[in-house]
Amino acid sequence: MSFRGFQKSVVRAPQQFKAKFNIGEHTKDPVFIDAERRFQELEVETKRLHDESTKYFNAINGMLDHQIEFSKAMTEIYKPISGRMSDPDSLVVEGNPEGIRACEEYEAIVKDLQDALKPELDMIDSRVVRPANELLDVLKVIRKTATKREHKKLDFDRHNATLKKLQDKKEKSAKDEKALWKAESDVEQSTQEFNYFNDLLKDELPKLFGLERQFIKPLFQSFYYMQLNIFYTLHEKMQHCDIGYFDLTLDVEEAFMRKRADIQEHTEQLTIVRFKTSGQKKPPKYGNKPAAIEAGPRPAGLLTSGPSTSTPTTPSLASVKYSQQSQLDIAENPPPPYSATASALKSPMSPPLGSPSSPALAAIAAGKPKPPPPKPKPMRLSGAPAVESVTALYDYSAQAEGDLSFRAGDVIEIVSKTQNENEWWIGKCHGKQGQFPGTYLPSPEKR
């Protein structure tokens, strides 16, 4: 926007504000208002026609391009995996030559189809997309003229308001007379400019609407026939597509199951995918677990217990020597008779009970005072909350279903209450639960 245009925008801003909120007098032409509404619809629909035809053109081209890329991806999958460090049989060439050949044939068919459809797609671009784009350019020029007409209307209303204000002034000074003469000149000029653009659009827009119908009819007809040609070409090319890799006489699902064969079963036998497909139990992370870990923890037997009934295992040389030494120690120093004191002193780090230090430890333990009893468990850690019981001050008889009846002196167990004593509380009495007024109980200060 130029500096002059910016100045005009600032001058027109008050009048534009008044027009937006319908303040003051404004010029209205019903014929032009109706024509402008139809013109706005024409703008919207022409833009939509251009966008949708462009999307259709890109969709057909994109479909063929994606088919070719799909064929290339399948060819890479079918290629043999050989000569790589991750392949244990790197010198053995394995692959699917029939599948690779089928992908190459399919790619050649799609490229031929792309070449066959190119003239029709070019016609869509030249007969639909390009004319719609040219019509959009024409509408942009007309929209500029309509915008200029709106600016002239603002100037016309603004100068008319100034002239009327000066004319209504009773006592006019020389300065007012000069301003009045300038306002009349501005009104005359703005009237001519506004009438020119207003009459031009009222005369030309109906002609444009008539030409629009003549423009749309051949455009739609061309698009319809070109679309039929595209579909017919697609059908003919794909109908005569004969690739030996596919058996088109079978049902789609049956052909898929036959091609798949037992691939799924072989895949599920692989360890790296078994747990995601079959949900079996996860094995140890690295190799087999030791026998001691697999057997699990065994309960420790008493020295006086009999022989173990568990499955015998082959002991190691160190364990045999240790066992013989332990038996000799037990035979030389038999254990003392069982007592609570000795049992309390027994621990894995204690010396054998038959050693000379055992009586001294027992005497020391007997001389120590017993530990004090544990403190009672705090209320906040107990499982159930404390129950609040209150003695009723007055008799109360149930007035409705769900109320609790009681007599003065009955002990009521509070189930639910509020901070306000004037509201209804819930309690239990004589094995029944119900509502009762809180004022029938003593206040918290008197409990």
Does residue 343 surpass a pLDDT of 70?
A: no
**Highest-scoring range by mean pLDDT, 104-108, 339-343, 366-370:** 104-108
Q: For tokens 């009762």, name the residue.
A: 436
Rounded-to-10 torsion of CA 269, 274, 276, 277: 40
- Parallel, antiparallel, or unpaired for β 432-437 and 424-429? antiparallel
Give 342's pLDDT tier (boundaries 50, 70, 90): very low
- 204-221 burial, b at 16+ Cβ within 10 Å, e below that, comes to ebeebeeebeebbeebee
> Looking at residue 341, what is its pLDDT?
44
| HEC secondary structure over 104-143 | HHHHHHHHHHHHHHHHHHHHHHHHHHHHHHHHHHHHHHHH
Q: Which of 238, 229, 234 is nearest to 106 (CA)?
A: 238
> Looking at residue 188, what is its pLDDT?
93
Give dist(CA 326, CA 331) in Å, integer: 9
* 125-148 average pLDDT score: 91
Q: For tokens 């509502």, name the residue.
A: 435
Contact between 166 and 179 (Cβ < 8 Å) = yes
Does residue 90 surpass a pLDDT of 60?
A: no
> Looking at residue 199, what is its pLDDT?
93
User: 3-class DSSP state for residue 24?
Assistant: coil
* 55-69 average pLDDT score: 91
Does residue 54 surpass a pLDDT of 80?
A: yes
CB atoms under 10 Å from CB of 85, counted, come to: 6
Express each pLDDT in 370-392 by its tens digit.
666 665 555 544 455 567 888 88
> Looking at residue 316, what is its pLDDT?
45
Q: Which of 301, 353, 302 is nearest to 330 (CA)?
A: 353
DSSP codes, 348-396: TTSPPTTSTHHHHHHHHHHHSPPPPPPPPPPGGGSSSPPPEEEE-SS-B
Cite the beta strand spans of 17-161 per DSSP E.
Answer: none
Express each pLDDT in 289-316 by its tens digit.
545 444 454 444 444 444 444 444 444 4
Q: Name the least confident of 107-121, 234-248, 347-361.
A: 347-361
Model pTM greater than 0.75? Answer: no
List, as own/partner pairs, every contact residues 179-185 make where C-beta atoms lie below 8 angstroms and the sequence separation is at least 24, other chains included: 183/159
Does residue 80 surpass a pLDDT of 90?
A: no
Give dist(CA 16, CA 9) in Å, integer: 9
Q: Percent of the chain beyond pLDDT 90? A: 17
Does residue 195 surpass a pLDDT of 80?
A: yes
Q: Name the least confident of 2-6, 23-27, 273-277.
A: 273-277
* 197-205 average pLDDT score: 93
> Looking at residue 274, what is its pLDDT?
60
User: 3-class DSSP state for residue 419?
Assistant: coil
> Looking at residue 375, what is its pLDDT?
59
> Looking at residue 260, what is its pLDDT?
81
